[in-house]
A and B are shown apart, each in its own frame.
Chain A
Amino acid sequence: MSTHSSRFAARLMVAPSVALLLIWMIVPLVMTIYYSFRLYRLVSPDRTGWTGFTNYTWFFKSSDFWLAMGNTLALVGGVLAITVVLGIAIALLIDQPVKGQGVLRILVIAPFFVMPPVAASILENLFMHPQNGLFAAVSIYFGSDPILYMQDYPMWSVIGIVSWEWLPFATLILLTSLQSMSSEQLEAAEMDGASALSRFRYIILPHMMRAITVVILIQTIFLLGIFGEIFTTTQGGPGSASTTLPYLIFKQAIVAKDIGRAAAGGIIAVVLANIVAIFLMRGIGKHLDA
């Protein structure tokens, strides 16, 4: 159905999107690479020059960097584990014939629509606050001391907040996949005397595999960039206890005002993300019908 001219018109129509995304990708990246080799601190703007790999080596020598790497890994891994496992359980539960399924879905999906700063500040203040939080009241009711969540367990608190935000997404996708399943196979297995556990293990789980993969892939993209939740609650602290790689770079740029160093951190983050992305794209490519 394509004449020469319609092909040309079609290419022309893709051009703006491609051009914009190319600029969006390349200009900042080239600038970041340039600054990453420069000495450039906003506090002493007159002292500039080339510094070789100094900005990069600072990261690899800094214990904060390795801590941030560990925290980033803990955040992504922790949230993925929590949301996938709970998501499967909740999807299986909601998929049962229950009364009021429409309202139920609305309740379950609600956290996903809460913007990160709101989710973080509500959970931090109304729930996790050591004096006025609801969790503190529960602790006191049971006769124990309130837990200082943000101070003693900052990373776990952030993981908890982010998991709450992303649980609905995982649940909804897994539920959608469950609902596309034919009941005949399950009924046949039930008649043959297969236990609930083996029905789950051998029929339901394999069917959900594609959806689980998609949940992991998409969530990883978003989780690698988590920022607002940390900015709102712990600000990466106490010390650097809840500083992730994005937040460490942010601190170098905005707090330390060291442009060169932050740029080097940015390049490290881009390289790491690309390594993850290669695996992700390979996995996701199989599941997208482009």
Chain B
Amino acid sequence: MARAVTPRRMILTTIAAWGVALVIAFPVIWMILTSFKTEASAVASPPELIGASWTVENYVEVWSRSDYPRFFWNSVVISVGSTLLGLAIAIPAAWSMAFVPGKKTKDLLMWMLSTKMMPAVGVLIPMYLLFQRLGLFDTKIGLVLALMLMNLPIIVWMLYTYFKEIPGEILEAARMDGAALWNEIVYVLTPMALPGIASTLLLNIILAWNEAFWTITLTTTKAAPLSAFIASFSAPQGLFYAKLSAASTMAIAPILILGWFSQKQLVRGLTFGAVK
């Protein structure tokens, strides 16, 4: 609802808006700045900015000395793997719900969403024991499965809201031309649904990357992703601020970049199409 305003008012609101935005983003900015300081400079009192001694040593050290690359790789495998697997299962489901809806489709969608409301901690014990017994504990494949199931309702919902916007007549036309069901999905539907699938993909990678319950409780060392690594970064005592910041910056950088690309879809995706 852009309206004409006086230049003076525009300057004032611009200053206020930028002030607020910088305050909100400040912890992230400060973390990035700290990650380039020496440890001594990072804990200096009063805090240093202009006179700080800058270095990239923290990144080199975190990357080469800890098991950081392995945690990073685990995060990549788990978030991308669970999302792709989820998409493979959810695309047919969302397709059929959007184009061949039955009487129970809405109930079914609501039921799927309601499984999200089950607190994860409520089923921690059986998950823990099942994972131990099935040999899935502290494995990447175990976490891929857990996070896929956790996000499956969101994936189905997001795809469903995107698919519903595709006009059904196009599918009918394809069918009249004699396209088989599978061809219809692959050659007609998928290209049209690609933007929707892409934003579903992005948002669910973000959700899986940032997940911090199953990744912490169902791993110890081998399959632990970055969330578990940072959570166990033992109380720094002021000695490891710069390294903590460097490790954290690397942990969130891929998601910050992906997130900025998908911020428009984020609203729609996370509100299940209720706010567009």
Q: Which residues of A contact B (CB under 8 A)?
A: 1-2, 6-7, 9-11, 13-14, 16-18, 20-21, 24-25, 27-29, 31-32, 35, 90, 93-100, 104-123, 125-127, 129, 131-132, 134, 136-137, 140-141, 164, 167-169, 172-173, 176-183, 186-187, 210-211, 214, 218, 221, 224-225, 227-228, 231-232, 245-246, 249-250, 253-254, 259, 262-263, 265-267, 269-270, 273-274, 276-277, 280-281, 284-285, 287-290
Given A7, A90, A111, A181, which contacts B27 in the complex, CB threshold below 8 Å? A111
| A115:B252 contact, CB within 8 angstroms | yes
For the complex, is B110 an interface residue (Cβ under 8 Å from A)?
yes
For the complex, is B80 an interface residue (Cβ under 8 Å from A)?
no
Given B181, B209, B230, which contacts A232 in the complex, CB threshold below 8 Å? B230
* Complex A-B, nearest 3 residue pairs according to Cβ-Cβ distance, in ascending order: A228-B212, A10-B96, A13-B92
Q: Which residues of B contact A (CB under 8 A)?
A: 1-3, 5, 10, 13-14, 16-18, 20-22, 24-25, 27-28, 30-31, 34, 43, 45-47, 89-90, 92-93, 95-97, 99-100, 102, 105-106, 108-110, 112-130, 149, 152-153, 156, 160, 168, 171-172, 175, 181, 206, 209-210, 212-213, 216-217, 226-228, 230-231, 233, 236, 238, 241, 244-245, 248, 251-252, 255-256, 258-260, 263, 266-267, 270-276
| B121:A21 contact, CB within 8 angstroms | no
| A262:B124 contact, CB within 8 angstroms | yes
| A109:B116 contact, CB within 8 angstroms | no
**How far, in Å, is B88 (CB) from chain A's closest CB?**
9
Please indicate the chain B residues that have their CB under 8 angstroms from the CB of A2 in the complex. Answer: 100
Please indicate the chain B residues that have their CB under 8 angstroms from the CB of A289 in the complex. Answer: 273-274
| B210:A281 contact, CB within 8 angstroms | no
30 contacts between A and B (CB under 8 A): A9-B96, A24-B115, A94-B21, A96-B13, A96-B17, A100-B14, A104-B18, A105-B263, A107-B22, A109-B266, A111-B25, A112-B259, A113-B255, A114-B28, A116-B212, A117-B216, A131-B238, A168-B24, A182-B1, A183-B3, A210-B275, A218-B271, A231-B231, A245-B121, A266-B122, A267-B122, A281-B110, A287-B274, A289-B274, A290-B106
Please indicate the chain B residues that have their CB under 8 angstroms from the CB of A210 in the complex. Answer: 274-275
| A270:B119 contact, CB within 8 angstroms | yes
| B119:A214 contact, CB within 8 angstroms | no
Please indicate the chain A residues that have their CB under 8 angstroms from the CB of B10 in the complex. Answer: 96-99
Please indicate the chain B residues that have their CB under 8 angstroms from the CB of A93 in the complex. Answer: 13, 16-17, 20
Known contacts A106-B263, A253-B128; decide if A9 and B181 are in contact (CB<8 Å): yes
Chain A contact residues: over half helix, strand or loop, or mixed?
helix
Given A10, A110, A113, A132, which contacts B238 in the complex, CB threshold below 8 Å? A132
| A106:B149 contact, CB within 8 angstroms | no
Count of A-B residue pairs with CB < 8 Å: 328
Please indicate the chain B residues that have their CB under 8 angstroms from the CB of A9 in the complex. Answer: 96, 181
| B109:A290 contact, CB within 8 angstroms | yes
Please indicate the chain B residues that have their CB under 8 angstroms from the CB of A179 in the complex. Answer: 1
**How far, in Å, is B148 (CB) from chain A's closest CB?**
8
Given B27, B125, B128, which contacts A122 in the complex, CB threshold below 8 Å? B27
| A31:B117 contact, CB within 8 angstroms | no
Q: How far is the CA of A249 from the CA of B120 in the complex (A)?
A: 11
**How far, in Å, is B152 (CB) from chain A's closest CB?**
6
| A17:B100 contact, CB within 8 angstroms | no
Given A11, A129, A134, A266, which contacts B123 in the complex, CB threshold below 8 Å? A266
| A97:B13 contact, CB within 8 angstroms | yes
| A246:B206 contact, CB within 8 angstroms | no
Q: How far is the CA of A96 from the CA of B272 in the complex (A)?
A: 27
| A277:B93 contact, CB within 8 angstroms | no
Q: How far is the CA of A277 from the CA of B121 in the complex (A)?
A: 16
Q: How far is the CA of A207 from the CA of B108 in the complex (A)?
A: 30
Known contacts A99-B14, A225-B121; decide if A111 and B28 are in contact (CB<8 Å): yes
Q: How far is the CA of A27 from the CA of B118 in the complex (A)?
A: 13
| B241:A94 contact, CB within 8 angstroms | no
Q: Which residue of A lies closest to B249 (CB)?
A: A118
**How far, in Å, is B212 (CB) from chain A's closest CB?**
3
Q: Which residue of A lies closest to B164 (CB)?
A: A289
**How far, in Å, is A167 (CB) from chain B's closest CB?**
7
**How far, in Å, is B51 (CB) from chain A's closest CB?**
14
| B267:A16 contact, CB within 8 angstroms | no
**How far, in Å, is B189 (CB) from chain A's closest CB?**
12
| A17:B13 contact, CB within 8 angstroms | no
Please indicate the chain A residues that have their CB under 8 angstroms from the CB of B43 in the complex. Answer: 131-132
Please indicate the chain B residues that have their CB under 8 angstroms from the CB of A132 in the complex. Answer: 43, 45, 238, 241
Q: How far is the CA of A210 from the CA of B275 in the complex (A)?
A: 8
Q: How far is the CA of A16 from the CA of B127 in the complex (A)?
A: 20
List 17 other contacts, CB 8 Å, given A177-B275, A290-B109: A94-B20, A98-B13, A107-B24, A111-B24, A111-B25, A114-B252, A114-B255, A115-B210, A115-B252, A117-B228, A125-B244, A164-B24, A169-B270, A173-B267, A228-B231, A232-B231, A266-B123
